Amino acid sequence: MAAQFGESGSSQARPVVGLALGALILLALAIASPARAVPAFAQQTGQPCSSCHVGAFGPQLKPYARDFKLFGYQATDGKSHEPPIAVTMLDSFTHTQQSQYPSAAPHFAANDNVAVDQVSVYYAGKAPGGLGVFSQVTYDGVAEAFNLDNTDIRKVAALEIGDKDLALGVDFNNAPGVQDAWNSTPTWGFPYNGSPLAPAPAAGTLIDGGLQHQVAGVGAYLYYDYSIYAELTAYLPVNRVLAGRLGEGTNSSSDRFTGLIPYWRLALNRDFGTKASAEIGTYGLSAQRDPGGIAGFGTDRLTDWAVDANYYNQALKKQVVSLHATWIHEDQSLNASAAINGTNPHDTLNTLRADLSWSFHDTWTPTVQLFRTYGSADPMQYGGQNGSPDSQGYVVELAYTGLGRPDSFIGWANWRAAIQYVGYQQFDGTRQGASGNNTLYLSLWLAVAPFGGLVQR
C-alpha cells in the first residue's frame, strides 16, 4: 500500500489508492447525517471523542478516560450497541533534509515519500464475562505486512472501602506499558505518530519499545481512591515462530530474550476537582537476552528504571494544557555481548523526554517536545565515529481535529491532520551533519466506527 515516486506499475498506484480512499472517507463525513455514536470506546459510552482525549483525538487521555481504562473499560450509556469495532487509516508525506540513498525503505524513493503508514482494525470495549478489551490488528503499509498490534485485556473488580473506590484488576497484554493510563510511558508517549520513513537514532532503552509485541504478560494491579496505582506484571518472550505468524518479523540473527521479565509500575495521582490533575510515578523492567540469538556464552542483563510526571489543566474555558515527562536509566550487564562481540562488559544508557501541549477548543493542538539519549561510549555496540549513543533534539507539531466534539455534525467518525517537524542537534554520537536527519512529516489520520449506525441526536 505504499510505493516509491517514479516507479511504474501497481506499486506506484498504492499510495494514490490509499489517499483516494481517505478522500472518499472525508467525503462521506461531509455528507453524513447527524449521529451520536462515535468510534470504538466512545460508541459504548455515548460520549464524543473530546470527553476522553485531549484535542478530541487519541491517544492522549483526559482524567475521565484514564479512570475508564483503569476500571476495565466498563462505563456505558446503558444502551444496546453494535460490536465496538473501529477502523483507522494513517496517510503521510515525509521529507528529510538529506536524502537517504539508495532509498528510505524498499519500494520507496530516497526522499519526499507518500505512504499509507498503516490501516488498523480495533475491537475496543466491553466483552463477555465482564472483560474489557482493547485489541488492534494493523496492516503496515511501509513493511507491507499484517501484525497483531497493541492488545490489552483486563478483568476488574470495582469495590468500595468506606467512602473510597478501589479497583482490583488482572491484565493481559503484549507490550510493557500498553496497559498504562498516563501518557509518559513510552508506548503511548508523544509523538503519537511519527514517520516510518525517516532516520531514527540507533540507541534506545529496552523499555522504550524494545519488547513491543515480542512478549506476552499477565499481571495484577490496584487503583485506590483515584490516587494510588500499583502494578506488577510478568512477561515471557513469545515463541519466534508464533511471533513471526503474528507479524513481528523476528529472524535468527535478532536478539533473543529468555526467562521471566518482570515489569513494575507505581503512580501517585492527585485530581484537583474536574479541571486539573497531576501524577508522579516510577516504572521499569529487567530482562535477560542472548545477543544476536547466540546461546552458550551466558546472557546479558538489561535493567530499566524510570520516573515520570504528568500534569493536566482545563481551568481555562475550552483550553487544555498538558505536560508529560520521563527519564529512563538502563543498566547493561553485557557478559554475553562482551564475549561474542567485544563490547564493554558494562554500559549505561539514559533517555529523557518532556513535552508540552496546549489544545484550543478541542480543535487546534500545538505541541513541543525536547528529547535526549546519552550513555556510555561503546564502539562495538553502537558503532559510529566514536561509539557514542548520544542523540538529542526537538519535535514541534501542530494538529487539527475535524470532528469529535459535542457539536460535531456526526459522531461515528473523526479525522486529524498534523504537521510535524523533528530537529536534531546530535545524532548517533555526532553533531556534525546531525541536522541532515531533520524531518518534515505531514499526516492525515482517519477513524470510523463502521457499525456505529446513524443514531439521531
Alpha-carbon gap, residue 106 to 144, rounded angstroms:
10
Phi/psi class of residue 428: alpha, beta or left (left: φ > 0; alpha: ψ in -120 to 50)?
Answer: left
Alpha-carbon gap, residue 372 to 130, rounded angstroms:
42
Burial 227-247 (b: 16+ CB within 10 A, else e): eebebebebebbebeebeebb
For residue 26, which of 444, 456, 397 has the smallest C-alpha distance? 444
- Residue 396 β-bridge partners: 368, 421
Q: Are the beta carbons of 99 and 178 closer than 8 angstroms?
A: no
CA angle 170, 173, 178 (to 5 degrees): 105
Tell me the one-letter amino acid at 264. Answer: W
For residue 111, which of 126, 101, 123, 121 has the smallest C-alpha distance? 101
| Below-50 pLDDT ranges, the chain | 1-13, 16-17, 19-38, 453-457
Each residue's pLDDT tens digit, 7-43: 333 444 455 445 444 444 444 443 333 332 235 566 5
pLDDT of residue 78: 64
DSSP H helical ranges for 96-158? none
Tell me the one-letter amino acid at 283. Answer: Y
For residue 456, which of 415, 409, 401 has the smallest C-alpha distance? 409
pLDDT of residue 30: 39
In CATH, 10-448 is 3.40.50.1000: no
Q: Where are the domains of the chain?
A: 10-448
Instruction: State pTM to two decimals.
Output: 0.87
Tell me the one-letter amino acid at 43. Answer: Q
Phi/psi class of residue 372: alpha, beta or left (left: φ > 0; alpha: ψ in -120 to 50)?
Answer: beta
Alpha-carbon gap, residue 173 to 339, rounded angstroms:
34
Extract the runs of DSSP E, i.e. beta strands, from 291-377.
300-313, 319-333, 346-360, 364-375
**Helix, strand or coil, per DSSP, at residue 206:** coil
Each residue's pLDDT tens digit, 73-87: 887 766 656 678 889
**Helix, strand or coil, per DSSP, at residue 17:** helix
Alpha-carbon gap, residue 22 to 105, rounded angstroms:
23
Intra-chain end-to-end CA distance of the chain, in Å: 37
Q: Are the beta carbons of 253 and 228 closer than 8 angstroms?
A: no
